[in-house]
Amino acid sequence: MTAASDTPAQQRAAALRAQLNHHAHCYYVLDAPEVPDAEYDRLFAELQALEAAHPELLTADSPTQRVIGAVLPGLTPVQHVVPMLSITTETDTTEGGAIAFDARVRRELALAETDPPVEYAAELKFDGLAMSLRYEHGVLVQAATRGDGETGEDVTQNVRTIGQIPLRLRGDAPAVLEVRGEVYMRRDDFERLNERQREKGEKTFVNPRNTAAGAIRQLDPALVRQRPLCFYAYGLGEVQGWDIPATHAAMLDALATFGLPVNGDRVVAQGVRGLIDFHQAMAAKRDALPFDIDGIVYKVNSRALQQQLGFKTREPRWAVAHKYPAQEQVTTLLAIDIQVGRTGKLTPVARLEPVFVGGTTVSNATLHNLFEMRRKGVRAGDRVIVRRAGDVIPEVVGRVPGERAAYVPNFHMPRACPVCDSAAARERGGMDYRCTGGVFCPAQRKQALLHFAGRRAMDIEGLGDKLVEQLVDQGIVLSLPGLYKLGVAKLAALDRMAEKSAQNIVDALEKSKTPTLARFLFSLGIRQVGETTAKDLARHFGTLDKLMSASIEQLLEVPDVGPIVAASIHTFFAQPHNVEVVEQLLAASVQPKESEGEGDDRPRPLLGKTLVLTGTLPTLSRDEAQALIEAAGGKVSGSVSKKTSYVIAGEEAGSKLEKARTLGVTVLDEAGLRALLAG
């Protein structure tokens, strides 16, 4: 509490620090902000001004200390009071790994087969950088890397830039509390960081773990802030003045009450069966996680039993890391080919000696573009590192150092498209080479047709890869409007096409003639226009005519449409051949349904709201529910976040429902959704 004798400036500074720390916890840890960013910025600026006018008010836990710090000449060694030890790794990725660990624990505890199962705590093994945070009387005073376990490096200034890490603990904190955990980088942040690097023509990063490790050891905190880092707590170092809970799980719960981020994907398991179930459940969920994990950590839950089990050399007998298949492997780059995409982009693709990585066999991997390939220095015949994490396209991240067996010349992008022989050119100031053939190019034509017919676009059922390949290769369909000239006889004459199947496709084409305006726009394959942008455009302009005649300035008025997207849309509709395609589609009786524009006065009870759908609803399909929400002015997101207004949950709702409850997001069933739609 603030002393009565404190000056008004001291009282205001203390109040601002408390408010800002509270809002930072809500934003970074709970992912449930209570105030708009502008209000946080206003409070922050007020505290900055107050501290500038009264330097004596500056404290170590002030939120302003996250953004300052001089460039260091080097990193200072830190002696760990309690060593940061490693744990045994179980490389058997089958259930045998859990069985072996449980057997060792039971043997060390001298348990008979008839004795009850051991209680374990199971949690994710994050693929990041181990970190020790030292709090004294609740204030963060030091952050140190693991180093060799005995001595690490002081990275306090850099760790202060990580928003999830509180500068002051909540509640009645111990005199000394050293928290052990992991600094990591989310996959989406990593991909965005690399995309920015590619756009600037600068070096890209190999993987999230190395990027996080490199960032945390930077000498300039300003550079660290440019690389978005996160943190999860999972253990303890030195503790003074705290009665540590009796179990590992309860200790993690207690850390969460102090305001530290603790991952929710953890369980208390009774015996080996619980460990196996959790390992398998997280393996199935691994690709959907927003960050990389390389296994599960099992720990005997009872701290008393942990002390009884003790250590073997420098590794605890009471814990083990049960690994998953590696997400990076080494293989041979056999050749470099060129793949032509829907927009004509020429992408160099590595043909690899097949290798099992990230849970699947990979034989092809992207090299992104010529400039990145040159930076990585890879050539045919090299031993290369291949990475596949989550649902990210496999990529070659670099070559294994060493001499080449023989001279191999640098790869050069072709001057002509390898599919249609049209000229290949690099856009001025751009990184990518593109085929100039447009729909004349069969590769672009095939991809354009498949995109046009996709479920999220015109939804022409039955028009798949094999059929499109025949239609293009035999010269039957030369453009999008040509699809609507197909008849049963022409289709039935194709390989593996019965008359009934041909009739189904003709029926599907007829059914597709009344798409929503958003679907129609998305189906055209305009560069930079994804599904969400197409919906925003349809909602803003209402009609196709208004959009096609819009100026760049008018396009920039659409929410989330910036200069690059606006220029791409404007350029598309300025091209006579694109306008001709649209006119021919309209002439073929394709009639996009008008969308509610800005001036529409129909009720839109969900305007400005973001909803997430999870599970199976009683009467509505996912697409039907999404269409109703969007018609009411709302947006549908694929993940629960700080911006989520409601989560609509049906049967077998999964982790999205759990996260909604954690964040305090309102959860409704289908009846609740219909009530919202009714206003």
Indicate which residues carry an active-site annotation: 125
Name residues whose C-beta falls within 8 Å of residue 253's C-beta, 6 or more positions apart in sequence. Answer: 245, 262
Distance CA 458, CA 511 (A): 9
| Cβ proximity of 31 and 23 under 8 Å | no
Indicate the SS3 state at residue 426. strand
The candidate with the shortest Cα–Cα distance to 307, out of 246, 252, 233, is: 246
The candidate with the shortest Cα–Cα distance to 90, out of 387, 319, 270, 390, is: 319
Structure tokens belonging to residue 299: 């720990």
Q: Which burial class, exposed, middle or buried, applies to 7 when counting CB atoms under 10 A from its CB (0-12, 13-18, 19+)?
A: exposed
- Distance set, CA 7 to CA 4, 12, 14, 55, 286 (Å): 8, 9, 11, 14, 53
Structure tokens belonging to residue 574: 């300025």
What phi-psi label fits residue 72: left (phi over 0), alpha (psi between -120 and 50 degrees) or beta? Answer: beta
Distance CA 435, CA 441 (A): 8
Distance CA 165, CA 339 (A): 44
Structure tokens belonging to residue 539: 């909602």
Distance CA 539, CA 635 (A): 11
- Distance set, CA 472 to CA 465, 494, 644 (Å): 11, 12, 43
Distance CA 375, CA 283 (A): 34
Write phi, then psi, for 373 (nearest 5 degrees). Answer: -60, -40
> Could you write out the three-class secondary structure of 181-241?
EEEECCHHHHHHHHHHHHHCCCCCCCCHHHHHHHHHCCCCHHHHCCCCCEEEEEEEEEEEC
Angle, in degrees to the nearest 10, between helices 670-677 and 622-631: 20
| Cβ proximity of 185 and 229 under 8 Å | yes
Distance CA 69, CA 57 (A): 17
Give the CB-side neighbour count of residue 367, counting CA atoms within 13 A: 32
- For 271, other C-beta atoms within 10 Å of its C-beta total 15
Structure tokens belonging to residue 233: 């707590």
Structure tokens belonging to residue 54: 């009264």
The candidate with the shortest Cα–Cα distance to 136, out of 229, 44, 237, 217, is: 237
Give me the amino acid identity at 303: R
- For 502, other C-beta atoms within 10 Å of its C-beta total 21
Structure tokens belonging to residue 214: 């490199």
